[in-house]
Amino acid sequence: MGISRVNVEEFWKLSEELPIFDVRSPSEFCHASIPEAINLPLFSNEERKIVGTLYKQKSRSEAIKAGLDFFGPKMRTMVERVEEVCGHYNTNRVLVHCWRGGMRSAGVAWLLDMYGFKVFVLTGGYKAFRQWVLGSFTHTYPLKVVGGYTGSGKTQVLSALAKRGELVVDLEDIAKHKGSAFGDLDGIAQPSQEMFENVLATQLITAMKSNRYAGQPVWIEDESQRIGLVNIPADLWKTMRTAPLYFLEIPFEHRLQNVVREYGSLPKGKLVTAIMRIQKRLGGLDTKLAINHLLENDIEASFDILLRYYDKYYKKALTARGDLGNQLKVIDCAASDYTENAQKILAENLLNNGTGN
């Protein structure tokens, strides 16, 4: 069927329909990968170490011979794995990459081509993909930011916007963290910084190239630059800071009930640990009161203290941004009806732009 080398743009476009096989070692793949890629390692972690050592200490030819020893017994299982995946995609065309587009991807491409697959190899490999990812954050995306105090339902409003056909990038979902001391209480591990950037970049790029784009904004949640253990890339962060901010103004009591519903059923031990993380900023007395209320099953009183703390720091951060002028759009919301509040944002956007975009 043949082997073709393609650049990152072509590779990513083809990935909309074809499976990606990452032939790097399991440890390389686990650290970070191209989103949706499937690991088809040519070498195990230990085998890769052996081949690399031979390459450095002896010669390229000795390294290749050792590599062939490792590759040979795996050929059949690798072909069968690719067959299995391609059956789900109903295709005999595949995408393959390694770290730099060198011998590992060339070897696997040769095998799959010989068996009858059409193979597209990523020129420059994963390294080229990473350069593409990092370069993408310098683009000035047409972002519009959904803001509001804690408990405003910003994530749910983004979901409601997506259901209406708007282009949405959910930073908290990508980061697997809700952006506060309580953000990791669901126990889901966060991705590496590199993987966070990979997913974020490809979602932004995909949104911009979508057939639905046609000048639409990309809606994103107002976040601190740091979300748990990962950071929003500096260039994208600058774009977010200058984008229009649609601030959901929701009464305190409604927000308090939202927070109680979201976090109130979590194990008390985890909640106490989260409170202790912010004790220096919260203050000794409020820390003690919040924990005591929690242990006495007065969840609402505990979260009342915490919510006022987060309100204070959000307001401080907002003030630090200076005079937002026309950048700030305050959306008065009587309650936490996410669908209605999404509609209010779109109405305000329509009013400001004079268009439906």
Span 333-351, pLDDT tens digits = 988 899 999 999 999 998 8
137: DSSP letter:
T
Q: Per the structure block, which two tokens stand in for 21? A: 């096989």
Side chain identity, residue 29: F
Pairing outcome for strands 143-148 and 118-122: unpaired
Q: Of the residues 105, 134, 163, which one is the last residue of a structural domain?
A: 134
Q: Is the pLDDT of residue 296 over 90?
A: yes
Does residue 49 sit in the same domain as residue 76? yes
Task: Write down the residue that tokens 């590599």 correspond to.
Answer: 67
DSSP, collapsed to helix, strand or coil, labels residue 264 as coil
Does residue 184 sit in the same domain as residue 216? yes
Q: Of the residues 134, 150, 179, which one is the last residue of a structural domain?
A: 134
Position 170 scores a pLDDT of 96
Q: Averaged over 28-38, what is the pLDDT?
A: 97
Q: Please classify residue 1 by burial: count the beta carbons closer than 10 Å to its beta carbon, then call 0-12 exposed, 13-18 middle and 19+ buried.
A: middle
Q: Is the pLDDT of residue 184 over 80?
A: no
Quick check: 169 and 351 in contact, CB under 8 A? no
- Identify the helix (H) or strand (E) that includes residue 86: helix 75-89
Whole-number mean pLDDT of the chain?
93
Q: Of the residues 134, 157, 192, which one is the last residue of a structural domain?
A: 134
Per the annotation, the verdict on 86 as an active-site residue is: no
DSSP, collapsed to helix, strand or coil, labels residue 97 as strand
Does residue 124 sit in the same domain as residue 154? no
Distance of alpha carbon 23 from alpha carbon 110, whole angstroms: 13
Q: Which of 30, 86, 98, 333 is catalytic?
A: 98
CATH number, domain containing residue 232: 3.40.50
Position 355 scores a pLDDT of 44
Does residue 11 sit in the same domain as residue 144? no
Position 210 scores a pLDDT of 74
Q: Is the pLDDT of residue 185 over 80?
A: no
Does residue 44 sit in the same domain as residue 88? yes
Q: Averaged over 242-267, what is the pLDDT?
A: 94
Distance of alpha carbon 71 from alpha carbon 152, whole angstroms: 55
- Identify the helix (H) or strand (E) that includes residue 260: helix 252-263
Domain of residue 27: give its range.
3-134
Quick check: 120 and 93 in contact, CB under 8 A? yes
Does residue 306 sit in the same domain as residue 345? yes
**Beta pairing partners, 330:** 247
Does residue 13 sit in the same domain as residue 26? yes
Q: Averaged over 16-31, what is the pLDDT?
A: 97
Position 288 scores a pLDDT of 97
Does residue 149 sit in the same domain as residue 111? no
Does residue 157 sit in the same domain as residue 128? no
Provide DSSP, 160-217: HHHHTT-EEE-HHHHHTS-SSTTTTTT-PPPPPHHHHHHHHHHHHHHHHHSTT-TT--
Which residues fall within 8 angstroms of residue 3, CB to CB, at 6 or more apart?
109, 110, 113, 119, 120, 121
Q: Is the pLDDT of residue 194 over 80?
A: yes
Position 356 scores a pLDDT of 41
Sign of CA dihedral 345, 346, 350, 355: positive
Does residue 293 sit in the same domain as residue 218? yes
Report residue 147 CA to chain centroid gap.
Answer: 19
Q: Is the pLDDT of residue 140 over 50?
A: yes
Q: Averaged over 96-104, what is the pLDDT?
A: 95
Does residue 265 sit in the same domain as residue 124? no
pTM (two decimals): 0.92
Quick check: 144 and 219 in contact, CB under 8 A? yes
224: left (phi over 0), alpha (psi -120 to 50) or beta: beta
Q: Per the structure block, which two tokens stand in for 22? A: 């990452």
Which residues fall within 8 angstroms of residue 88, CB to CB, at 6 or more apart?
none
Q: Is the pLDDT of residue 121 over 90?
A: yes
Position 357 scores a pLDDT of 42
Does residue 124 sit in the same domain as residue 255? no
CATH number, domain containing residue 96: 3.40.250.10
Q: How many domains does the chain have?
A: 2
